[in-house]
Structure 1
């Protein structure tokens, strides 16, 4: 497939090198057309080396090939990333001042814009009008990701991750011109890792959670087009790019962060391993082991039930109507019941919409790269099994969440 990849003049241009590699590794022939401004961020030599094709942004290069007409006619797909406010305005008003804008006017195939700019620029009425104009003409304009921008600001305006743009582009050439990432425009809050409850300045009560499943969920939600907030307790893996990260340590800190983040979230996924108990008292100094003293007695108190509070907050708020709350249950069976029996009881007790059930053990789930889960629904649908790598399991969970959001009636 012949792809024209237009590169706008924004700092996010460096990310487009990864997008180009995704296209070429998939076997596509890519011609890169950078704007003059974009070459201040990434030079033409980079684009030529990665694409294997000559690169120009002038209508006066290789005039005998009539590139300003030919490239648009021959392209099976045109992708513009980053699509700056300036480029969106030029495309919407039909300007043709360089090779890229000429090519956009001549394009016969699908056109995909991946915006990136400051939040105020994206939300400005002029930009919104330009986006609506382009969409009305049949172009696909992705929603930008939300997160840290070039400076200290944070908000919608980040370039979507290269994998997200690639998947959207492939969907277009498969004939889905109305393609929409399943979680585009949605905000998803995900907790990950294990909380730690301090005993003294040195010791804590913790658990075996590595955070791998939560991070995989954040990546899957991000790749589905969502704005992702990751509430990260202790994790053995780094947080992914393209998501907002808030660090927490204890169950009480996670509770505060989760209730605040859930207030304007479409989905809340509580995949973190939250300590059920915490020490009633925390020593200001290290608890010493002395031969002349008795063994210390540690009194534990119950931590709040964050999942249940999230459901109660959702149900008490009109703004929360339609919000999906997803819990995780790490269960072991015993003589009183099996894993699913305990999980079903927990689902009804907590009141969440979906419960993802893990059968845990010393060598199961925690810290592993693979997982097997059962997804239970409070609505009573058949349990759904998912297994494989934690990436594959996360993608299955996000697909189920997308289905629930798009096909199930909002809750009263």
Structure 2
């Protein structure tokens, strides 16, 4: 029987406290039990009644709500994590220095479960040397920092310090709990996420998105790749502990937090970025839809329309996957093939030509721009089908296969 998951959601005083209600709702929707604990200052921003109605549990505020005064001891004993969201500068200082002068800070000090902290404060407060010392001490003590994000703040200023949005925090809390599950602590929600491998210390280089090949100052050659699959692969790799470098073409996506992102435009720029990064990679996954050709002579000015025909000479772009696979000591290489017909024949031929141990193939018309996909994997043992699923779930399944082959190769 699958073990239920439970968190204590700690809310401190700050305008971002309103996001905690949505965070609680999203976590409850995922089957996670949420027990709210608030500081007195937090009650000035959001009422305990709101959170009690959402969670169907009395909200902890006062140390003496428990007749024995032991809420700070018992509160964490059945929890899988304590999540402080928002975590004000004052509360972070308390945590870093072991102060315990209210229920929530005492609960954190007496916990026997992991602590996740989502900072929320003005940009100058976040940048202050004292806050940065406190954050570094928290991290050194084993706390997990979620954010902060950069953007407009309630005070009218803009910069780093605002709390992550509720959906991002819910995703990160889930990923954390499921990461614990991979090491046998709690149950997983999705079969596609079961038996996740551990890639801590393994460096993965991933390419994603389209490339854009300029014709003139305003026109170019590109494709309809959204980058969603490559970003999902990066997210899945981060979830299992890998160090991820993501070389990305121009996309309208938020990069997975924790990835080192290198933004590029053209195929040549992507090739140069891969050459710079590949020496540090243990695994290379080429998901990007790289243009096969570019214009031989790009105009620096807009080409004016006329009645005459216009001829463009196209020259081949570098073959990034073939280059990486042919290195004297290549990383474990995974290629992607987006075909419009004869998927098996073209994909099998591409794997052989590129000389890569694994190639993932799909029909472009069924995948580009969609949130879901299906893949056929080709390796030395034959082909393996990954059925249609959300791209993140599909990426997790792909990573399991990649890691199996990678680890087998290391044992030889």
Quote the Cα distance in structure 2 between the aligned partners of 1:13 and 1:399.
Answer: 38
- Please tell me whether the aligned partners of residues 146 and 172 of structure 2 are also in contact (alpha carbons under 8 angstroms): no
Asked if 1:395 is matched to 2:410, the reply is no
In the TM superposition, residue 252 of structure 1 has moved relative to its aligned partner by 0.8
Quote the Cα distance in structure 2 between the aligned partners of 1:259 and 1:218.
Answer: 19
In the TM superposition, residue 304 of structure 1 has moved relative to its aligned partner by 0.8
Match of 1:30 among 30, 34, 40: 34
What residue is the counterpart of 2:192 in the other structure? none
Unaligned regions of 5+ residues in structure 1, if any? 132-140, 154-158
Quote the Cα distance in structure 1 between the aligned partners of 2:181 and 2:93.
Answer: 26
Quote the Cα distance in structure 1 between the aligned partners of 2:214 and 2:232.
Answer: 27
In the TM superposition, residue 104 of structure 1 has moved relative to its aligned partner by 5.1
Quote the Cα distance in structure 2 between the aligned partners of 1:113 and 1:166.
Answer: 14
Asked if 1:306 is matched to 2:320, the reply is yes
What residue is the counterpart of 2:113 in the other structure? 111
Distance 1:75 1:67, change over 3 A: same
Distance 1:368 1:69, change over 3 A: closer
In the TM superposition, residue 278 of structure 1 has moved relative to its aligned partner by 0.8
Q: CA RMSD in A?
A: 4.5
Report how many residues are paired.
Answer: 374
What residue is the counterpart of 2:355 in the other structure? 351
Match of 1:75 among 75, 78, 81: 78
In the TM superposition, residue 311 of structure 1 has moved relative to its aligned partner by 3.1
- Please tell me whether the aligned partners of residues 194 and 273 of structure 1 are also in contact (alpha carbons under 8 angstroms): yes
Quote the Cα distance in structure 2 between the aligned partners of 1:90 and 1:253.
Answer: 47
TM-score, with structure 1 as normaliser: 0.70
What residue is the counterpart of 1:372 in the other structure? 374
Distance 1:270 1:161, change over 3 A: farther
- Please tell me whether the aligned partners of residues 95 and 109 of structure 2 are also in contact (alpha carbons under 8 angstroms): no
Measured against aligned partners, the alpha-carbon deviations of 1:93-152 in whole angstroms (never above 9, x if no partner) come to: xx7544245435665xx722336689986996x667633xxxxxxxxx66x679977998
TM-score, with structure 2 as normaliser: 0.70
Unaligned regions of 5+ residues in structure 2, if any? 120-125, 152-157, 161-165, 188-195
Q: How does 1:115-194 map to 2 (within 5 A)?
A: 130-131=141-142, 161-169=169-177, 176-177=184-185, 182-184=198-200, 186-194=202-210
Quote the Cα distance in structure 2 between the aligned partners of 1:263 and 1:147.
Answer: 31
In the TM superposition, residue 29 of structure 1 has moved relative to its aligned partner by 4.1
Match of 2:300 among 249, 270, 284: 284
Question: What is the DSSP-based 3-state SS (H/G/I as helix, E as strand, rest coil) of the residue aligned with 2:184?
Answer: coil
Distance 1:11 1:254, change over 3 A: farther
Match of 2:212 among 178, 196, 201: 196
